[in-house]
Structure 1
């Protein structure tokens, strides 16, 4: 069995959420790992919140991205350009059925290195009702300090 090489990375995450006429932007800098498995690239990082930790894995292939979160929040979102994909969100408040309609999915990586960016733009619906328009940018680069 082949063990993938995990490289420490610094991740800059920017989320812009548009709900009706209101827009909010969140930015975080996190540290995690980057690795490849078969034809996919994975980014793995933790977000520490007041209530506890959220473990996140972002899987990127040629035409699809999947975000899986576990810990205090359990969530799975799938993105494929111009497609409607089903997902889920589970917290202490219950289970929600989610749907993403991807408007933009673009991944670039520098010379097959641990540096790149994922740009997502999508409409999110919860239980069939549009919850907002989201733009997510994830920039990652090798963390030379941790190497």
Structure 2
């Protein structure tokens, strides 16, 4: 059965912190939301700092969240609450090994599926450096 996509506006806010550092980032874009009953798939494009296009696909299911980015930046990051996962981040300036330990995942959407919010709290270790605390908040709303 084909699922008709809904046009949405997506915003992703990330907060990164450790003892001496804090950085907040925000990206937004227009995209599509597919509600497959047991999962939500959000697809949207962003521009990197050089103006190159990066395609984002976020899949939200009961037991995990997967964020896949393709374009000038490539990664496939998996979040499973109370689990550690490993992946690789490909950037024009180099490749980084990522170790992600997910602490919390919360997802909610309104009754008619017109808008929703995903919240993830996790620690991320890049290339064996000290892990940093991250939070990611993704919101979408029908256009």
Q: TM-score, normalised by structure 1?
A: 0.88
Q: Structure 1 residue 134 and structure 2 residue 131: aligned?
A: no
How far apart are 1:131 and its partner, in Å?
Answer: 4.1
**1:13-92 equivalent positions in 2, closer than 5 A:** 13-37=12-36, 39-49=38-48, 50-92=50-92
Count of matched residue positions in the alignment of Structure 1 and Structure 2: 142
How far apart are 1:128 and its partner, in Å?
Answer: 3.1
RMSD (Å) for aligned C-alpha atoms: 1.6
How far apart are 1:109 and its partner, in Å?
Answer: 1.1
How far apart are 1:38 and its partner, in Å?
Answer: 6.0
Q: What is the alpha-carbon distance in structure 1 between the residues aligned to residue 133 and residue 83 of structure 2?
A: 15
How far apart are 1:60 and its partner, in Å?
Answer: 0.2
Q: What is the alpha-carbon distance in structure 2 between the residues aligned to residue 118 and residue 70 of structure 1?
A: 21
Which has the larger displacement, 32-41 or 7-16?
32-41
CA contact (8 A) 1:10 1:140 kept: yes
Q: What is the alpha-carbon distance in structure 1 between the residues aligned to residue 98 and residue 133 of structure 2?
A: 13
Deviation per CA, 1:21-79: give whole Å up to 9, x if none: 21111223321110033622101111113241110000000121010000000011110
CA contact (8 A) 2:27 2:46 kept: no
Q: What is the alpha-carbon distance in structure 1 between the residues aligned to residue 116 and residue 134 of structure 2?
A: 20
CA contact (8 A) 1:102 1:121 kept: yes
Give SS of 2:130's match: strand
Q: TM-score, normalised by structure 2?
A: 0.90
